Amino acid sequence: QVQLVESGGGLVQAGGSLRLSCVASGSIFSSYTMGWYRQAPGNQRELVAIITSGGTTDYADSVKGRFTIARDNAKNTVYLQMNSLKPEDTSVYYCRTRVAGEYYWGQGTQVTVSS
């Protein structure tokens, strides 16, 4: 069983920045691939960024150059640094991992970007 808890969301003006955090339970966090996803009302949940256990990262085209995913294995935490935010980034942001073939999601954190 893995528990994921996100934090760091909020209201920000366009062009601003936020840093999301996701703390994971489990003693083998360093072996997890971690992902950030988002879902806006009426839309499907989409992948934003992913980081492997080895630190390899990948991003959705819509956030490349603006968002950075990073991990701190000592703190069992994955971060999403979001810069140059746009109104279309408004969503609930979730972190996710897969352990032993089972997917685990956090409860989500709301990010609202005003124009």
Identify whether the C-beta of residue 34 lies closer than 8 Å to the C-beta of residue 47: no
**Tokens 């935010």, located at residue:** 85
Task: Please give the pLDDT value at position 55.
Answer: 95
What pLDDT score was predicted for residue 73?
Answer: 93
Phi, psi for residue 25 in degrees, rounded to 5: -85, 165
The residue ranges of the chain whose pLDDT is under 50 are: none
What gap in Å lies between CA 43 and CA 25, rounded to an integer?
Answer: 29
pLDDT of residue 81: 98
Task: For the beta carbon of residue 71, count every other beta carbon within 10 angstroms.
Answer: 22
Strands 102-105 and 91-99: antiparallel
Q: Choose among 103, 80, 86: nearest CA to 18.
A: 80
Q: What's the pLDDT score for residue 29?
A: 87
pLDDT of residue 74: 93
